[in-house]
């Protein structure tokens, strides 16, 4: 059995924070079968196991990995992220796996969908921007004029008449 304390105040604080987060799961689960599984788990043992994996992989809380510790603790304690807590408590996500997860992976399902939606919109915007640039570069008016884009603010038309280019601003 893993001890609740390590003798290191920083590590013990991390264990307490993880335990506090994992203790919420029993009140968050509605389904009877799931509640039975959750109640049978010892949140102190899981918290100690996760903290040990964090310490083993990341080192001291005060080191260069402090941001990773904070990210994990934030996501575990976030009230809108009960799925992560439940999966960690039930062992579906191990402490070793939790330490290697990116912040996007730890985020709640709702946040993951929002991020995916934002990325999709950005991708479409970029595709449209590239398409419009290609159109500007290749679009030629019937009289031989060419449309150029200037810093996306002004559109100028160059007319080629009698071998001389004349700039007309629009």
**CB-based contacts of 36, cutoff 8 Å, min separation 6:** none
pLDDT of residue 146: 53
- Could you tell me which of 88, 97, 87, 73 has the C-alpha nearest to residue 17? 73
pLDDT in tens, 41-61: 999 999 999 999 999 999 888
Answer yes or no: are the C-beta atoms of 76 and 18 closer than 8 Å.
yes
pTM above 0.75, yes or no: no
Greater model confidence, 165 or 121 = 121
Nearest C-alpha neighbor of 47 from the set 101, 10, 92, 11:
11
Tens of pLDDT, residues 116-140: 999 999 999 998 888 777 665 555 5
Say whether 64 sits in a helix, a strand or coil: coil
pLDDT at res. 54: 94
SS (H, E, C) 109-161: HHHHHHHHHHHHHHHHHHHHHHHHHHHHHHCECCCCCEEEEECCCEEEEEEEE
For residues 108 and 84, the answer to whether their CB atoms sit within 8 Å is yes
Q: What is the pLDDT of residues 81-98, one digit of tens each?
A: 999 999 999 999 999 999
Q: How confident is the model at residue 25 (pLDDT cuts 50, 70, 90)?
A: very high
The residue with greater pLDDT, 2 or 144, is 2
């Amino acid at each position: 059995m893993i001890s609740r304390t390590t003798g290191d105040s920083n590590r013990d604080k991390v264990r307490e924070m993880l335990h506090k987060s994992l203790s919420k799961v029993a009140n968050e689960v509605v389904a009877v079968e799931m509640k039975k599984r959750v109640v049978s788990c010892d949140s102190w043992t899981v918290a100690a196991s996760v903290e040990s994996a964090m310490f083993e992989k990341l080192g001291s809380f005060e080191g260069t990995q402090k941001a990773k510790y904070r990210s994990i603790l934030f996501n575990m304690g976030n009230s809108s992220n009960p799925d992560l807590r439940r999966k960690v408590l039930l062992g579906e996500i191990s402490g070793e796996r939790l330490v290697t997860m990116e912040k996007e992976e730890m985020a709640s399902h709702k946040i993951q969908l929002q991020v995916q939606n934002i990325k999709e919109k950005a991708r479409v915007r970029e595709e449209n921007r590239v398409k419009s640039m290609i159109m500007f570069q290749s679009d030629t008016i019937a009289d031989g004029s060419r449309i150029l884009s200037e810093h996306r603010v002004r559109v100028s038309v160059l007319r080629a008449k009698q071998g001389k280019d004349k700039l007309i601003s629009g």
